[in-house]
Structure 1
């Protein structure tokens, strides 16, 4: 490619390819770039010729990336965003971070932990504007135009950068009122005789509860067929437990304030396995981040690090066992 295209040609061809891939057609890419669709097509063809591989298969109606095209698109975005970030970095020496930052977050984490720290962020950086989508579905960060996303659970490996925020340990809880009426479950085997509150993920699966057996192995308990109440929102599960509906399996970070106030008690603590869930922030790459994104990330990560409810040590739960 170095011998076939000069620097200015390389940028033009890469821009044409990225826009065509993102927008799905040469016509749409031509509108975005302010050139003709024929010019976009020629630029992509020249890029493919210089690389010696086909990047996309096109018909009269559709464009579909080849495997090589997918790999090149990922690297091209990094290069283009690094150029933007370099310009922004110079600009940032003269002005404070500003502009719009788009964030996707799960509903519970967003409401309980992200929203409370946004006023401080906006006060520190008045030129910022923050757009937050509360969505428990897995989103495509690049396709949907987010700067970064907050996600919890067993987060799969991906091409995205993942920075851990906290462990999402779980705990089994019930209200004192429920325990007074129905008694205390003394072992996991007694759970089917109790009123249970289950959580159903958006994909339809009910979250299992994990317990340690006497021999040290871990066993999964499926509450699907015995739960009296099944809810999709984790904060709703916590609220139902607070209301005395039954025994629930919830995140420590969501139950913590209710444990402190005595509204909830920990049950089956000696048997319960807290799981391997975590909360992370994800973004496309480690290349130079725009000042608006870097400033927002730094502020939020510092705030989350200081949020004690996100970092409750498991031994602290001993105090709140019923």
Structure 2
């Protein structure tokens, strides 16, 4: 191992950051460098290796065949180096530094507060930022360490961690049921006023099953739609209609008697809750928080 090889390890890190970010400009911003400096480093790396790694166009960059191979192996080298540093940091008993978590709006209130309560109280030097948003999140652009999401994970280069499952069912408020009556069959559900979300997700498709009954799918038309779950829950509690709701997010409303489960003998399959990270060799703080999240969601 000579000095030139060690110098190329730095160039390899810059190259991998360019690929991960999708452009030299974004990589420059994340590394605190200028775009021209990034370009010079990539050119130097290509010259030393004697082969082109990136095919540059006016709008984006594409990996050459050599670039694809170099990135695959270079990324492993970076993760191995990160793992070596993490093994040292894991000696420390306290969690410190910043940690950014992105998750759907519905999970950002009571569930995440309960899940993180112990780690927040016991580790005051750990600074956690919660980014609540329904829909797709770019973890690199937003600097996110952990993404919590629901449903079926989409194919991506992120690393997947199953956390647990969340039950869901159809609910209404006592005031609504006093006004409109209780449905006794899935078909009668369609005679009621429905509230829903304005985007397709784990609460969009309603598939009901029960013993001694054929399973059935219903697709009600919503009288009111909302772009976040908390608003939907609030309006159901106020008696404006019925809706399918995730049981983890409505525990307080259930304990206060604000919601009633409809057709309790019928079953709706739960949806999956999972976490995503950008690296397989995550820092110690990320690993520990993932353990805390898994313990909470698998229990609840």
Interval of TM-score (by shorter of Structure 1 and Structure 2): 0.7 to 0.9
CA distance in 1 between counterparts of 2:12 and 2:217 reads 50
CA distance in 2 between counterparts of 1:208 and 1:283 reads 28
Equivalent position SS for 1:282: strand
After superposition, the Cα gap between the structure-2 partners of 1:210 and 1:11, relative to the gap in structure 1 and judged at 3 Å, is: same
CA distance in 1 between counterparts of 2:70 and 2:150 reads 29
CA-based RMSD of the aligned residues comes to: 3.5
Per-residue CA deviation, residues 189-225 of structure 1 (Å, 9 max, x unaligned), is: 1223212212222x6998232223887654332222x
- Select 1:222's aligned residue among 200, 219, 223: 219
CA contact (8 A) 2:151 2:201 kept: no
- What is the TM-score of this pair, normalised by structure 1? 0.77
Match of 1:292 in 2: 285
- What is the TM-score of this pair, normalised by structure 2? 0.82
Aligned length: 295
- Select 2:139's aligned residue among 113, 138, 141: 141
Indicate whether 1:16 and 2:18 are aligned: no
CA contact (8 A) 1:10 1:47 kept: no
- Select 1:277's aligned residue among 271, 274, 277: 271
Shift of the alpha carbon at 1:266?
1.2
Match of 1:316 in 2: none
- Select 2:248's aligned residue among 242, 248, 253: 253
CA distance in 2 between counterparts of 1:262 and 1:80 reads 53
Per-residue CA deviation, residues 101-124 of structure 1 (Å, 9 max, x unaligned), is: 121111110222113444532332
Shift of the alpha carbon at 1:158?
3.5
Structure 1 unaligned spans of 5+? 311-322
CA contact (8 A) 1:182 1:194 kept: yes
After superposition, the Cα gap between the structure-2 partners of 1:200 and 1:62, relative to the gap in structure 1 and judged at 3 Å, is: closer
Shift of the alpha carbon at 1:149?
0.5
After superposition, the Cα gap between the structure-2 partners of 1:191 and 1:72, relative to the gap in structure 1 and judged at 3 Å, is: farther
Per-residue CA deviation, residues 252-299 of structure 1 (Å, 9 max, x unaligned), is: 11233323332211112333x423521111113433x32222232223
CA contact (8 A) 2:111 2:249 kept: no
CA distance in 2 between counterparts of 1:114 and 1:92 reads 24
Equivalent position SS for 1:93: coil
Match of 1:159 in 2: 157
Shift of the alpha carbon at 1:174?
1.3
Structure 2 unaligned spans of 5+? none
Greater mean deviation of Cα atoms: 237-246 or 90-99: 90-99
CA contact (8 A) 2:176 2:239 kept: yes
